[in-house]
Structures are given as structure tokens and as C-alpha cells.
């Protein structure tokens, strides 16, 4: 899954380089022309704060991906934006399937609030420290997390004319 | 109105007052009546079970098994649940909680706002969404890359072409295919026209919300020009599925230059009327100036983009920052204002209509000749005539429409500037013919989230103006 080797970032923009210097555990890479970085979840909040300090102050997007057979199983993807100069920063945070917990970044960037609720709702990823981690798109009494790959898509049976219903 | 032929009627009253005997009962009519009394959703042409005495719920769409009476009462409206409960101490007897929506006409969709009022002042707002959630991101994982635009075009249904464009650009970046210049120019022209249509609809409906009923009529009238052209080009007025991976579905129709020129002229003339109608109107100014303000810092922290962000003083536009489809070769300006209120959002959107028409005019004038989709036969189906002559063309056609084309593994985030803001598609491919994951970052989702910041400590009467100015499309929020 997603086995295309990410080219190691050859030369980092000064914005990224300043950020990379303070966090040796964060690996920067190049994915189809975008700068991405793999952030261990232990340093996520500190790294996000540092990124905001470094100019990536605009929250753009947060979503999750279920890779199912890969280890770690889940990946939380956060998109940040720096406006001057215009740069994107994509953070990939691996989340193991048996302990799907990630620290919430909604304290640093309040825009992450709804997006983390969505990722919790659809993937069951727990964002610890989130002020109101409840379902957002699905009804409160829903069971399961439908965007997980082991969640079946479901179907409605349709009765056709003169169909043999015995089987 | 005539009765359907299979309904048994008794004595019926003729228009002149004379009683007429019932038409002779047709064979099967009684059976049909029985069928009508059953609540099942039968597919047309199917028949009721032969044993009419009992029916199963097989075939009916059982939406929810309600075992909790509380849930049922809440859905029927007999029980109002306070989502703030458990926060006793913050609420007092002085405040009251009202529900706005999910069926309120000013929400333009199914949005519910739970508003805590102190007198007429809003103390807290909680947006409750999800009423339109249909699992489109899950559906996207079941569709091939070629079928994908059909799905995403239904998300933000007021700027469907932007959705298709973002999806297709993401697929093309993973594929690494080159798009011919004519296809790129058509894409730019169509999406900018879509922005015009969306902004016209927004000014119409927001004018209506603010009491300017004539704006409603004029806005829809001019939007109709654009939609008629869309119908001529794509076959549909919305949900076009026109932009496909590899290009667009069809070339521009004959006489498109005249149509585009007519749109340009008609919308520009209308725009002057709207500005005269609204912008100097004292009632309109009182209802919009200083209302629903957002600061630049709030916009950044909450991910607010598009006209909302540019009305707050930040000139970020995806078309300038991360140009796509060759949009950098056209001249246009990005309007920026600094007050961040409803009035400035009107000014920004009116100016954006002008700038979009500038792009449309340039694209129409410099429309390059050539193919409207890539020649890469692994991605685009061959022309119909080739199928009769070439076995390979037939095979390619068959494979593309049965199993789809394979896209190299990888992950990509691709954004376009939709009418509402940054519309991003995060796509993961595992190397198969269907995407492993498609996430759509809709601008409306962030704009719903920022509503509490916009509305807190303002008056309840300003809610509608502030909500309308955010231009949220609930299909984009709930997906």
C-alpha cells in the first residue's frame, strides 16, 4: 500500500529547514512535488506549535486514512499553509490500530476541532485532549466507524418480479 | 386532474353539477388499490406479493431501527434535547436556548444551529451538521477513477465543476499525464463561469434573506444565462460530470463564442444594476456593515478561505498561489478588503464576478485549437469511429469502461479555488483502478465551524445575515 518510495527531500526550503532542525524525529520527504513530513505522535503538539511559529499559521485540512494491512494501520494527515511565502506543509502521523490515539491539535489551531470530530466519527481515532469529541456527521446512536476498511458498505435488498425468494 | 386509471372511484361530481356513474371497474383495480395502501417502496413494474394478507419489510428502506424512545421523540420533535446539558452552572434562568433549523429556510439546507440567547444577544452557538451526510467519501472508494467525478460533483452542488476539477487534477498528478492546452482552457473557462453562476445565486439568496426580494429575481435570471450554456455544453444544468481525468467529456458546442459573449454582456449589465440596487440602500447598509465580522487571525486559525478570507484582509487565492490548468497565463486581480463584515463580502463577490468574466473573455479569445482530451489511450477512451476499425481501440474502450485504468500508488493533495474557497482533494491510490481513499476538504465545512466566532455576542436578528454571508453549501459540509 502506497509503496512508492518517497524521495528524500534534496534541499529543503529555509522555512522547512528551520522547522526540521528542532525536531530530529521528524522525517521530511518529497511526495510528487509536495513537502511532507512524518511526525511521531508524541511530538505532534510541540511540532504543530513550532510550525505555527515558523509561519505555517493557517489550518487547512485534517483527515485520516486507514491502510488496514500496514503498520501503523491509520494515518492522520494534517495540511498547514504559510502565506508569505506561500508554502504548504503536510504532516503524516502514523497511528497504530490497537491504540488509535492521537493528541489533539485543536488547542493550537482551533480550526482542527470539527475535522478531528469528523476523523473520530468516521475512523474511530481518539484525539486526546479534544474539548468535545462527539460524532459530527453520523447520528449519535450509530455503531461503528464506516470509513474503516473493515466496515462493509452495506446494501438494501431489492425484490424483483417473480424472483425465486426461497434461496 | 384526471385520476389514474387503476383507482376505483365512486360517484364523481362532474363540473356542471350532474352526477355521473362511476366508470366500469377494470380488472385488477381492487388489487391495485390494495397495493397502494401498502407502504413498501416498490420498484415500478414489480407486483405485490401474491399473499396480500401479510407483507414483509424486505425491499423497503429501513433507515433506522428505533429502539430508544428518546431518539424517536427527538426525531418527531416532541422532545427537545439541549446539547448544552451537563454544563450546568454556565447556563442560568436568564438565558434561553432556541433551535434554528434543520428546516429553517434561511439555512439554505439542513443545518441546525442551537443558539443560547440572553435577551436578544447571542451568548453561544453550536452548529449541528450531518443531516445530509450520505457517505460520499466511502462511495468514492467503490467507484473507479473514471466514475469518480460523478460522485464528487454532487458534493458542492453550486460549483460542481470545481469539485470535478479538483478530483481530476489529483488523479492526473498521480498518473502524470499531460493535458492538452485546449482542454485546460476549456476547464478554466467553465470553472470561472461556474464561479459567476455560484456568486450570482449567492447574491440572489442572500439578498432574499436580507429582504431584497428583487435581488432574488434578478440573480436567478442572470444565473440562468450561465446554466443554459452549461446545459448546451455538458448536457446538464448541474452535476455535470463534464471534467474527466484526462480532459473534458466533450468539445465546446457550435456557436459557443456568441453564448459566452452574451453571458459576459448580460451579467456585467446585471451587475451594475445589483450594485445600484443594494450597495447604497440605507436599509441594506445597516443590515450588513459591521455585521458578522471576522478578523484575519480568526480566519487563519479556523481555516477560512475564499471571499470570506479576502474580505478580512488576506489576499490568498489558490489560483495565484498554486496555479492550476494554466490559469496563470490569464490576467486577473484578486480583490482584498479589510473590514471582514457582510458588506465587504458582498463587494468582494461582486468584484470576483467581474474578474472571472475577465478570465472567461481572455480564455474565449485565446482558445487554442486541438484536442479536448489527452491522447493517452490508457486514460481516455478512443473516438467512436476508431472502434469500428481497430481491435486495440475496442479493447481499450472495453477495459476503460469495465475495469477502469490503474493509477500508480501515491498520495496527493490538490486544491482549486472554488466559489467558496479552497477546495482540496486528498487522494491515496494503492495502484489499483479505484482510489484507496478520497477526502474532500470543502470550504463550507470550515465556514460552518467559524459560525460561533462570527455570531457570539451579536444580536439574534443578525444571525441570518452572517450565516448567509458565509455562503455554506450543506452538500459540501456533510458530503
Given B36, B62, B88, which residue is the final one in a domain?
A: B62
> Closest-CA residue in chain B for A64?
B439
Q: According to DSSP H, which parts of B252-389 are helical? A: 256-278, 282-288, 296-302, 307-311, 318-321, 342-365, 384-389
| pLDDT at residue B360 greater than cutoff 90 | yes
Residue B20 DSSP class: E
Question: Would you call B97 exposed, middle or buried from its count of C-beta atoms within 10 A (0-12, 13-18, 19+)?
Answer: middle
pLDDT average, residue stretch B432-440? 91
How does pLDDT run across B154-170, given as a tens digit for each residue?
998 899 999 999 999 99
Q: Residue B357: what pLDDT?
A: 93
User: Do the Cβ atoms of B154 and B473 come closer than 8 Å?
Assistant: no
pLDDT average, residue stretch B144-156? 90
Domains of chain A (ranges; CATH) run 9-128 (3.30.460.80)
Judge whether B93 lies within some domain: no
Lookup: cell for B122? 447571542
CB < 8 Å to A34, chain B: 412-413
Q: Residue A12: what pLDDT?
A: 63
| Global confidence as pTM | 0.82
Judge whether B281 lies within some domain: yes
Lookup: cell for B445? 465545512
Smallest Cα distance from B73 to chain A, Å: 14
pLDDT average, residue stretch B117-131? 86
Judge whether B120 lies within some domain: no
Let me know whether B169 and B41 are in one domain: no
Let me know whether B154 and B57 are in one domain: no
SS3 call for A77: strand
Q: Measured between CB atoms, which of A59, A63, A139 is closest to B303?
A: A59
CB < 8 Å to B135, chain A: 146
Q: Residue A119: what pLDDT?
A: 92
Judge whether B265 lies within some domain: yes
CB < 8 Å to A160, chain B: 43, 46
Chain B contact for A143 (CB, 8 A cutoff) = no
Judge whether B236 lies within some domain: yes
Confidence tier at B71 by pLDDT (50, 70, 90): low
Let me know whether B198 and B58 are in one domain: no
Residue B456 structural domain: 136-476
Lookup: cell for B159? 460549483
How does pLDDT run across B262-299, given as a tens digit for each residue?
999 999 998 988 888 888 888 888 888 888 888 888 88
Q: Do B130 and A110 touch (CB under 8 A)?
A: no
Given B62, B78, B100, which residue is the final one in a domain?
A: B62
SS3 call for B455: helix
Q: Residue B181: what pLDDT?
A: 92
Confidence tier at B77 by pLDDT (50, 70, 90): low
State the CATH number of the domain containing residue B447. 1.10.645.10
CA distance A60 to B426: 12
Q: Measured between CB atoms, which of B71, B137, B412 is closest to A141?
A: B71
Non-local (6+) Cβ contacts of B141 within 8 A are B434, B435, B436, B437, B438
Smallest Cα distance from A23 to chain B, Å: 23
E-assigned strands of B370-442? 410-417, 422-429, 437-441
Domain count along chain B: 2
Judge whether B349 lies within some domain: yes
B196 CB neighbour count, 10 Å cutoff = 26
Q: Rounded to 10 degrees, what is the CA torsion of B117, B119, B123, B124?
A: 10
Chain CA centroid to CA B79, Å: 32
B450 CB neighbour count, 10 Å cutoff = 22
| pLDDT at residue B134 greater than cutoff 50 | yes
Confidence tier at B35 by pLDDT (50, 70, 90): very low
CA distance B187 to A148: 34
How does pLDDT run across B174-226, given as a tens digit for each residue?
988 889 999 999 999 999 999 999 999 999 999 888 888 888 889 898 999 99
Amino acid at each position: 500500500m502506497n509503496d512508492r518510495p518517497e524521495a528524500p527531500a534534496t534541499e529543503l526550503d529555509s522555512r522547512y529547514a528551520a522547522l526540521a532542525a528542532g525536531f530530529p524525529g521528524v522525517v521530511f520527504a518529497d511526495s510528487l512535488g509536495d513537502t511532507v513530513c512524518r511526525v511521531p505522535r508524541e511530538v505532534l503538539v510541540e511540532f504543530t506549535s513550532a510550525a505555527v511559529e515558523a509561519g505555517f499559521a493557517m489550518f487547512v485540512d485534517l483527515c485520516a486514512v486507514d491502510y488496514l494491512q500496514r503498520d501503523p494501520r491509520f494515518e492522520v494527515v494534517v495540511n498547514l499553509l504559510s502565506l508569505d511565502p506561500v508554502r504548504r506543509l503536510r504532516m503524516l502521523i502514523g497511528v497504530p490500530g490497537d491504540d488509535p490515539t492521537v493528541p489533539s491539535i485543536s488547542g493550537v489551531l482551533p480550526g482542527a476541532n470539527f475535522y478531528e470530530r469528523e476523523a473520530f466519527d468516521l475512523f474511530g481515532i481518539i484525539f486526546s485532549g479534544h474539548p468535545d469529541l462527539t460524532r459530527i456527521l453520523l447520528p449519535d446512536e450509530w455503531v461503528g466507524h464506516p470509513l474503516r476498511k473493515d466496515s462493509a458498505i452495506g446494501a438494501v435488498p431489492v425484490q424483483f418480479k417473480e424472483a425465486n425468494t426461497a434461496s | 386532474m384526471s385520476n389514474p386509471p387503476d383507482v376505483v372511484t365512486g360517484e364523481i361530481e362532474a363540473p356542471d353539477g350532474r352526477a355521473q356513474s362511476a366508470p366500469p371497474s377494470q380488472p385488477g383495480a381492487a388489487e391495485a388499490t390494495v397495493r397502494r395502501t401498502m407502504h413498501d417502496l416498490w420498484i415500478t413494474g414489480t407486483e405485490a406479493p401474491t399473499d396480500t394478507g401479510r407483507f414483509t419489510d424486505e425491499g423497503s428502506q429501513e433507515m433506522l431501527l428505533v429502539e430508544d424512545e428518546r431518539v424517536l421523540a427527538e426525531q418527531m420533535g416532541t422532545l427537545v434535547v439541549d446539547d448544552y446539558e451537563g454544563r450546568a452552572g454556565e447556563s442560568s434562568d436568564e438565558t434561553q436556548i432556541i433551535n434554528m433549523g434543520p428546516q429553517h429556510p434561511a439555512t439554505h439546507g439542513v443545518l441546525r444551529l442551537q443558539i443560547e440567547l440572553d435577551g436578544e444577544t447571542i451568548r453561544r452557538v453550536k452548529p449541528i451538521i450531518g443531516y445530509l451526510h450520505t457517505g460520499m467519501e466511502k462511495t468514492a472508494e467503490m467507484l473507479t477513477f473514471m466514475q469518480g467525478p460523478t460522485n464528487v460533483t454532487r458534493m458542492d452542488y453550486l460549483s460542481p465543476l470545481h469539485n470535478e476539477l479538483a478530483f481530476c487534477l489529483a488523479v492526473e498528478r498521480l498518473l502524470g499525464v499531460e493535458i492538452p492546452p485546449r482542454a485546460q482552457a476549456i476547464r478554466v473557462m467553465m470553472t470561472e463561469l461556474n464561479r459567476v453562476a455560484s456568486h450570482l445565486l449567492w447574491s440572489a439568496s442572500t439578498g432574499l434573506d436580507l429582504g431584497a426580494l428583487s435581488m432574488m429575481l434578478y440573480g436567478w435570471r442572470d444565473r440562468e444565462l450561465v446554466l443554459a450554456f452549461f446545459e448546451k455544453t455538458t448536457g446538464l444544468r448541474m452535476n455535470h460530470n463534464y471534467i474527466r481525468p484526462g480532459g473534458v467529456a466533450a468539445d465546446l458546442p457550435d456557436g459557443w463564442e456568441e453564448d459566452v459573449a452574451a453571458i459576459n454582456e448580460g451579467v456585467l449589465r446585471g451587475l451594475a444594476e445589483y450594485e445600484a440596487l443594494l450597495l447604497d440602500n440605507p436599509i441594506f447598509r445597516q443590515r450588513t456593515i459591521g455585521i458578522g465580522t471576522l478578523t484575519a487571525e480568526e480566519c487563519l486559525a479556523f481555516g477560512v478561505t475564499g471571499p470570506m478570507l479576502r474580505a478580512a484582509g488576506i489576499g490568498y487565492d489558490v489560483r495565484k498561489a498554486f496555479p492550476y490548468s494554466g490559469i496563470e497565463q490569464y490576467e486577473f486581480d484578486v480583490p482584498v478588503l479589510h473590514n471582514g463584515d457582510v458588506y465587504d463580502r458582498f463587494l468582494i463577490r461582486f468584484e470576483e464576478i467581474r474578474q472571472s468574466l475577465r478570465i472567461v473573455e481572455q480564455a474565449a479569445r485565446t482558445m487554442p485549437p486541438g484536442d479536448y482530451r489527452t491522447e493517452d489511450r490508457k486514460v481516455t477512451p478512443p473516438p467512436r469511429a476508431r472502434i469500428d476499425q481497430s481491435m486495440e481501440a475496442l479493447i481499450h474502450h472495453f477495459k476503460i469502461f469495465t475495469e477502469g485504468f490503474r493509477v500508480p500508488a501515491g498520495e496527493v493533495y490538490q486544491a482549486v479555488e472554488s466559489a467558496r474557497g479552497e477546495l482540496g482533494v486528498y487522494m491515496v491510490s494503492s495502484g489499483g483502478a479505484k482510489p484507496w481513499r478520497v477526502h474532500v476538504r470543502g470550504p463550507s465545512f470550515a465556514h460552518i465551524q467559524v459560525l460561533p466566532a462570527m455570531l457570539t455576542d451579536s444580536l439574534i436578528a443578525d444571525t441570518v445575515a452572517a450565516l448567509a454571508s458565509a455562503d455554506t453549501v450543506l452538500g459540501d459540509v456533510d458530503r
